[in-house]
Amino acid sequence: MPDEVVGAPADPAPHTGADDGTAGPETVTPESAATDAGAADDETPEVDADAPAAAPSAPEPDRDGVDLGITTQADGSDAVVPPDDEPEPETEPHEAPVQRLKRSFRPAVSRSQLMVGLLCALLGFAVVVQVRQSGQETLSSLRQDDLVRLLDEVTVRADQLDTEVARLRTSRDELASGTGQAQAALDVARQRATVEGILSGRLPAEGPGVVVTIREPDAANQLKAQHLFNMLEELRNAGAEVVQVNDVRLVASSSFVDGPDGTIVVDGTRLTRPYRWRVIGDPATLDRALEIPGGALPTIRNAGGSVTTDQSDQVTIDAVVEVTEPQFARAVPDGDGG
């Protein structure tokens, strides 16, 4: 017999809804609950001792569907059974070496690194500002004596720089003057070489002058080498600079010789008639000098020759000679001219 339940006094019967035709909720009292529990105990089946023991039940999964490996034994106790197949650890997918290299060089910037960088930038800015302020306050913080000394040093340095500039300008002028002198000397040397080349017969020449043509009968042979040599002397005395007879350039070493058969030989070359002289010099002076009574041309006319003289503003002399080295003459060194 169940124990007597002692509780609070019973409440009035609740409204069951019988009046409005609807069934109300069932009311459970302590007495009815105890009666139902006794009935359940009487209905528990008896266990046969000769019956084989029941196999342990399969492990129950966890609420999330994960097998915890817990099984229930025949006596009602729980035992942990290790799972047959443990899940293999997940392996990372194969990564190429190039990808690993790129990932290693890829900067991983975190929030702390950003903060450190920002702090470093602020610190650098503060240092720059402080240095500038210190530089500006340097002069203002100096005493008057220090400022005067600093001004003197700057003035001395400026004077030194001015002196250096003046020295460099002097050197520049000397170099320019030396270059000009060298160029002038070179020009003089070239001019002298040209003049000496013309006078020595090494170079052709052109200029104003006269052209004198001397003719004589072929059979007369009245003109001699002396007549032509006298004419050369008259031309030189009148200021002739360059002289050419036929195709022979006449120079200081030229000579006239009477050859066989009444011919005249100049510097080894036999002259043919007529004798054509081309002379560069003052045309009027040369013409008057040649016509002096008793001079070269009157003498040639008296010897049976005929002469014509033409003044020209452009006389070209193209014959040249090969200058040979003197056999006996030597130049006098400078300072030994006395």
Buried b (16+ CB within 10 A) or exposed e, 72-100: eeeeeeeeeeeeeeeeeeeeeeeeeeeee
Question: Could you count the other beta carbons within 10 Å of the beta carbon of residue 269?
Answer: 12
Any idea what the Cα angle at residue 59 is, between residues 58 and 64, rounded to 5°? Answer: 135
**Average pLDDT of the chain, as a whole number:** 75
pLDDT at 247 over 90: yes
Residues 6, 26: Cα–Cα separation, whole Å: 21
Q: Which amino acid is at 168?
A: L
Percent of the chain with pLDDT over 90: 29
Topology of domain 205-317, CATH: Alpha-Beta Plaits (3.30.70)
pLDDT at 30 over 50: no
Residue labelled with tokens 């009444």: 262
Q: Length of the chain, please?
A: 338
Structure tokens at 325: 């080295």
- The string of pLDDT tens digits covering residues 88-130 is 555 555 657 777 777 766 666 677 878 888 888 888 888 888 7
Between residues 287 and 142, the one the model is more confident about:
287
- The string of pLDDT tens digits covering residues 276-301 is 999 999 999 999 999 888 888 999 99
Residues 222, 12: Cα–Cα separation, whole Å: 195
**How high is the pLDDT of residue 150?**
80
**Local confidence band at 265 (pLDDT 50, 70, 90 cut-offs):** very high
Residue labelled with tokens 């800015």: 125
Residues 208, 280: Cα–Cα separation, whole Å: 6
Sheet containing strand 248-250, strands side by side: 248-250, 242-245, 275-280, 205-215, 306-317
Q: Per-domain residue ranges for the chain?
A: 125-200, 205-317
Between residues 276 and 131, the one the model is more confident about:
276
